[in-house]
Structure 1
């Protein structure tokens, strides 16, 4: 919502400065996002007269000007503008002035051997237009020495506020002024809007064609014909107002409706009466109907949308946008002015479905003031008669304006109960009355408060407390600490909250960067990662590519890595902890942690190590580090080759505690899944379901053993076993570990070989076994005995034979 300071002062009698107004707006809940004050950046530019302009002695296209700045003797300026001439008045900037159009600070200079002590400026250099062909040529009556911005009327700041959806009343300048007046920053200027006397009956009728259930879609519709108008450009002041807030003036009739939309938060629409055939009918659209709108696009309509029709069909999309066929132009002589009330939810649904964003939709979907519907068309009629002339008809009305005010019983003690501040009822009454509420006293502590028609967001007692508090100032609400209980406070985090927090810390420690992605993905991506169930499709998605609840964190993370790579950041290491969705049931929502690595592993390009791309084992390391940080015992963890369809079948694995307790997967993603997301691979990833991990025991049966470091030298022995090619190396490792759990401290795979010397269908696995004696140094016989046990266990458990 944008407006200028002068526009605000049309409705607010105040002597407050710009900074006071901006501070107050934010304090009362109308947050100021941006203030543009042209006078601030043009304060050093003054009006000057060129006393003499003569050719430059060393350059054909330059002129040497003596300039009277009004502050003493004339100064010499070298100017290259073709229109620089003796006697003209222009805009001067002295050395030290910042030139916004050039983004430089002007200094003294010597141009082709001639000193220049300033600059005569073009409109482009002041960022007033794109005209840089010549310097600004001012009229003869421009006062020399005056600040140019003030003389030219460029000292009107533009204020932009960020409206929350519950404040439709502040979508007009008048509503903003009312709030500032309630905050004691001035006096609201009120002026009665008198009805316009109709000279003849309106020849065009209106019908609201709805059944009983649909009457809420258009409870009221009003129409007036003004004939004999002379349409054309609107007055200069109105065009200036619209331009300052970023709107393009079109013609007087259209500009009036745009002006009232921002001035009074009252959207209206005008039809060229001669282009309307027959009476108007307001109804639901029919499937297959289309509308060529004012933006030049043709929209396909359906039964959920409300349209205004004549005998030719739809002429306007109710509350959203008018049609081009009945639009007003310079040839319009008879104009129909429309005022209406529409259902906010239906307007929002229509605008979102068609992708149309207009100032009218912005206000109607939040709720306009129903009591101003008639006053709005009267005010519009007055402006049409003033700017365009003509003769008005009587009003044609259909339906009725809702006139049932909301009355809330309110105990004054509620302010202290909810906000913790003591406010005298008399003071609170004054605040509410300034905001337009009617307060009737019912007792010492009770009142009946009538909500004004322009505040659809006020529904209960808490809303009234909010109105009082925001006017008093949230800064005045005392800070009251919660009472401190005796002793140590009980834990407040659940196990899953702790896991989520610890998972973020652990993955960040692995060198991954946290990302937060959408909980929605496209249908195609959901299906590619195991989702896409109809029960998880959104009924009203915010975008076509965000249509389904995500079945995995990986689509969002991979897409984020791809976007970063497209911007030159090829090496991506990202993680996320968040919710995923398996079905619509309560148990279908799970907490997951996932990470992706794309590009070079480790430190990336570095002289200390050869560069290599991240792979499945990098993802495995991340997953195992996460399990370790969460305190999950890895003793019963099984790593089974292969994963779901979105992982590469030969470069992935499943993490499980038995076949029925799958806790996650890791590996490289399948090229088919990457193609759907449009990301180049390879991409290594893992995903763990934190809900599926075993919970820690409430009362541990074993205490953590004390640190035991032997003083004796460990012994290492290597073994090479021949096993079936399909036999997992992990099974062989477990068999070797079980041979003697007292002496065997570690077993690691150091070699895998297939080829010459190994039978077909077999492979050779090399194990390094570390023996750690505890009581005495091992003899050769004792070492040999342990070795025999290892060979026997490997043969028994895995069918392995010692390689010769």
Structure 2
């Protein structure tokens, strides 16, 4: 939220310096994100008078001006159509930086005529969008004076970050109240002067007391909707708001000044009573942002007899918006429940200044005064005659009273604060305090976030200063600390270190996904009731969507090789599951004269990472079985799962499906994998000592076998069968060659398997080796394999 220093001082009587105000804001928990003073960038610009204006000898659209900026005439070439003798404007001398054009002025020849600086337009000084000509100042403006000082632009703009619980600070007055409580000044009384009404109030009502408990309205007839006054337009422009018209600017000003959103309707464009009600299925509204929104019964709208005019508490509609020719208006001041506003805004994907305030919770007791202030401004700035006020419904103004012990600041926050000081702080913030045993403290209507004694402690400590909270180390037990990491944490550490050692870069992505992204990976079981946005609505069922989005961002920035991993949790109906996910994209090897063109990743690269990471995590890699097809998001025939038996899935990996890669804006082949760390069986406790290394006394023996198998047989099933043919003698078996083509029957392939035999107390005899070989061939035959001749 932005406001100017002078705007703040409309509510805060203080002589404190800007630095003191900024320090205090940070100390009381209102974080200052930035400060910008327009006068600083306009310091080189002065007020100047055009003495003469003559046509440029070489250009029809240029003029040669003689300009007096206080130090005698200077020759300036200018192309503005309004440049003329006698005009008083803003001059930039050589060496001045022009912020709107991003140039530094220097003496230059323009079409053969020397120019010593420039006369500036509003847009060139970033004071607005006008660029039809140079700035024209009053004839009595002091020539040679600093323009920013003369125009009273020396007014710093303060940008603060307001946390979601501080609805009271969504207006300048609320921030001033906090500063006054912190001793930086005193809060000025708020001038509220209701306008005496004539005649009946407007026909307004609320038929949706859950979404809109209170709907107040007042009409003003005979208004003139011109430009807003200079003081109001100046403040709105300073904080980035574009002045539109007096009626619209008044609502924006009151919203930012007092945190009270309002809306103004053109009565001539209404038909019948104005009603707050639930939307009907299929209704739509053309909003002020030019977009049409389809509504449903979970949303509150403002409508007349003809159609919907307003998405209640979020954005008005174009059909009833005020125009330059508007003469009769209806001012709406309503209270919308925060929960309804939040749900509606999320469903429509619509944000606005009004929504940001209503979903936090505006002051329900400020309807009467807010409407009175707005109506007073309308009648003063636009004229007209006001009606009486129509009050439909009632806002929930009752606030809870909490028991409070002032000693809690010491026990809960570690800061001892005198009881009288605590009472003064709470009362200055608007709390009603009745001292006793215990104290009875009632929060003001603008602090719906205070729901208990701990919140009152926070308020006191915040105003005293968060920097007064001491840093107190936790007590440490004497002696050698005992291990505290759980088995799951140890597995996570080993996996993380191994992934990093293998050249993968760790990423941390959101645990929330859109429903579309979650559906592509099996769908999410957890849907948030109050998500940050529609794109962060479902708790992730897989780590891959976040990693793929991160890979796409890296790829868009020119990364040639992407190796990302993340350790986090997937969310299912029954549990959260610890998982390691990774994505490999781009070039695996760089282009060179030795290797030729760059080579990309394939599914076997993913398998290599999977096996290495599983081994590091303590999985029994040698006992894993490979099963095909890891999911629809992988390329058919280029993915697999690794399991301990048919049901215990430890990992899934493969080449990403082209459609999935395209959905995440990824180019080229992308491979990925996930290791389900929670599925890895825990090791049995066997003490802290490793078993001593005892190498076998005899050398191992290797034998190679080549089998003909059907072309669709997985090699893993053959290798597992061979390895199990003699569990005592065979210690390892691996596939080392796959061949099909000449010499191999169509529909078959040749698989070559290396078998490692380890003798025990004595070497194998030829007869024993032949018997083991026979058992290997028999085991392979059960899988449909035939020994090649």
Residue 532 in structure 1 maps to residue 504 in structure 2: no
Distance in 2, matches of 1:229 and 1:701, equals: 86
The CA distance in 1 between the partners of 2:399 and 2:258, in whole Å, is: 20
State the Cα distance separating 1:677 from its structure 2 match. 5.3
Q: 3-state SS of the aligned residue for 1:395?
A: strand
- The aligned counterpart of 1:494 is 486
Corresponding residue number in structure 2 for 1:724: 709
1:393 partner SS:
strand
Of the candidates 693, 709, 719, which is equivalent to residue 680 of structure 2? 693
Confirm or deny: 8 A CA contact 1:81 1:135 kept in the other structure.
Answer: no
* Residue 673 of structure 2 is aligned to residue 683 of structure 1: no
Provide the residue aligned with 2:342 in structure 1. Answer: 348
Whether 1:580 and 2:570 are equivalent positions in the alignment is yes
Corresponding residue number in structure 1 for 2:656: 669
Q: State the distance in 1 between where 2:76 and 2:302 align.
A: 63
Change (3 A) 1:39 1:283: same
User: Which digits, 9 at most, give the CA deviation of each residue in 1:465-518, with x for residues without a partner?
Assistant: 111111111111111111111123333333223333332322222222233344
Aligned partner of residue 599 in structure 1, secondary structure? strand
Q: Report the counterpart of residue 460 of structure 2 in structure 1.
A: 468
Q: 1 CA distance for matches of 2:757 and 2:282?
A: 82
In structure 2, what is the equivalent of residue 414 of structure 1?
408
Cα distance change on mapping 1:53 and 1:681 into 2, 3 Å: closer
Aligned equivalents of 2:399 and 2:665: distance in 1? Answer: 56
More deviation, 607-616/288-297: 288-297
1:554 to 526, 544, 555: 544
Q: Secondary structure at the match of 1:197?
A: coil
User: Residue in 1 aligned with 2:503?
Assistant: 511
Matches within 5 A, 1:70-89: 70=70, 74=72, 79-81=77-79, 89=88
Distance 1:132 1:192 in 2: 39
Shift of 1:378: 1.6
Mapped to 2, the partners of 1:306 and 1:346 lie a distance apart of 7
| Secondary structure, aligned partner of 2:606 | helix
Secondary structure in 1 aligned to 2:366? Answer: helix
Q: Residue deviations 1:285-316, cap 9 Å, x none?
A: 33344444444444433322333444435444
**2:99 aligned residue:** 100
Q: Secondary structure at the match of 1:488?
A: coil
Greater shift in the superposed pair: 337-346 or 119-128:
119-128
- What is the rounded CA distance, in whole Å, between the counterparts of 1:228 and 1:54 in structure 2? 48
Equivalence for 2:281: 287
Query: SS of the residue aligned with 2:623?
Result: coil
Q: Closer, same or farther in 2 for the Cα pair 1:99/1:200, shift >3 Å?
A: closer
- Give 2:249's aligned residue: 255
- 1:209 aligns with one of 207, 210, 216: 207
SS for the counterpart of 1:457 is: coil
* Inter-partner Cα distance in structure 1 for 2:412 and 2:406: 11
- Give 1:669 shift: 3.2
Match of 1:432 among 417, 426, 440: 426
Distance change in 2, residues 1:545/1:158 (3 Å): closer
> For residues 635 and 776 of structure 2, what CA distance do their matches in structure 1 show?
31
**Secondary structure in 2 aligned to 1:247?**
coil
Counterpart residue number, 1:629: 616
Q: Distance in 2 between matches of 1:457 and 1:451?
A: 9
* SS, match of residue 704 in structure 2: strand
TM-score by length of 1: 0.86
SS in structure 2 at match of 1:366: coil
Equivalent residues in 2 for 1:308-327, closer than 5 Å: 308-327=302-321
Greater shift in the superposed pair: 412-421 or 753-762: 753-762
What's the offset of the Cα at 1:242? Answer: 2.4
Q: State whether residues 719 and 735 of structure 2, in contact with CA within 8 Å, keep that contact through their aligned partners in structure 1.
A: no
Q: Deviations over 1:359-398 (max 9, x none)?
A: 2222222111122211112222222221233333332223
> CA separation of 1:358/1:750 partners in 2, compared to 1, >3 Å: closer, same or farther?
closer
Alignment of 1:146 onto 2:145: yes
Return the TM-score normalized by structure 2. 0.87
Residue equivalent to 2:192: 193
Tell whether 2:219 aligns with 1:225.
yes
Any conservation in 1 of the 2:49–2:87 contact (CA below 8 Å)? yes
Whether 2:149 is the aligned partner of 1:157: answer no
2:376 aligned counterpart, secondary structure: helix
Partner Cα separation in structure 2 for residue 121 and residue 314 of structure 1: 46
After TM superposition, give the deviation of residue 769 of structure 1 in Å.
6.8
Contact 1:721/1:765 (8 A) holds in 2: yes
Is residue 2:442 matched to residue 1:450? yes
Residues 246 and 634 of structure 1, relative CA distance in 2, 3 Å threshold: same
- 1:4 Cα deviation after fit: 1.7
How much has 1:136 moved relative to structure 2?
4.7
Conserved 8 A contact 1:100-1:127: yes
Counterpart of 2:600 in 1: which secondary structure?
coil
SS of 2:684 mapped into structure 1? coil
For residues 752-771 of structure 1, what are the structure 2 equivalents within 5 Å? 752-758=738-744, 763-766=749-752
CA RMSD of aligned residues (A): 3.9
Alpha-carbon offset, residue 35 of structure 1: 2.3
Q: Aligned with 2:645: secondary structure?
A: coil
Paired residues of 1:735 and 1:790 also in contact (CA < 8 A): no
CA distance in 1, matches of 2:285, 2:116: 61
Determine helix, strand or coil for the equivalent of 2:459. helix
1:798 corresponding residue in structure 2: 780
State whether residues 721 and 780 of structure 2, in contact with CA within 8 Å, keep that contact through their aligned partners in structure 1. Answer: no
CA distance in 1, matches of 2:586, 2:151: 58
Question: Given the superposition, is the C-alpha separation of residues 786 and 103 from structure 1 closer, same or farther in structure 2, using an over 3 Å criterion?
Answer: farther
Is residue 595 of structure 1 aligned with residue 582 of structure 2?
Answer: yes
8 Å CA contact 2:77–2:110 kept in 1: the answer is no
Whole-Å Cα distance in 1 between the matches of residues 50 and 246 of structure 2?
40
Over 3 Å counting, the alpha-carbon distance change for 1:543 and 1:368 in structure 2 is closer
| 3-state SS of paired residue (1:656) | strand
Alpha-carbon distance, 1:463 to partner: 0.9
The runs of 5 or more residues in structure 2 that have no matched partner are none
* Greater mean deviation of Cα atoms: 153-162 or 294-303: 294-303
Contact 1:275–1:326 (8 Å) recurs in 2: yes
Aligned-partner Cα distance in 2 for 1:453–1:466: 18
Q: 2:591 aligns with which of 601, 605, 608?
A: 605
Q: Distance in 2 between matches of 1:88 and 1:393?
A: 46
| Preserved CA contact (<8 Å) 1:597 1:684 | yes
Whole-angstrom distance in 1 between the partners of 2:9 and 2:227 = 25
Deviations 1:220-279 (A, max 9, x none): 232323333333333222222223233333333332222211111112233334444444
Question: In structure 1, how many angstroms separate the alpha carbons of the residues matched to 2:658 and 2:395?
Answer: 61
2:480 is the alignment partner of 1:481: no
Pair 498,185 (structure 1): closer, same or farther in 2 beyond 3 Å: same
Question: Could you tell which deviates more after superposition, 674-683 or 48-57?
Answer: 48-57
Distance 1:173 1:739, change over 3 A: same
Number of positions where the alignment pairs a residue of Structure 1 with one of Structure 2: 782
Structure 1 spans left out of the alignment, 5+ residues: none
Rounded Cα–Cα distance in structure 2 between residues aligned with 1:57 and 1:219: 71
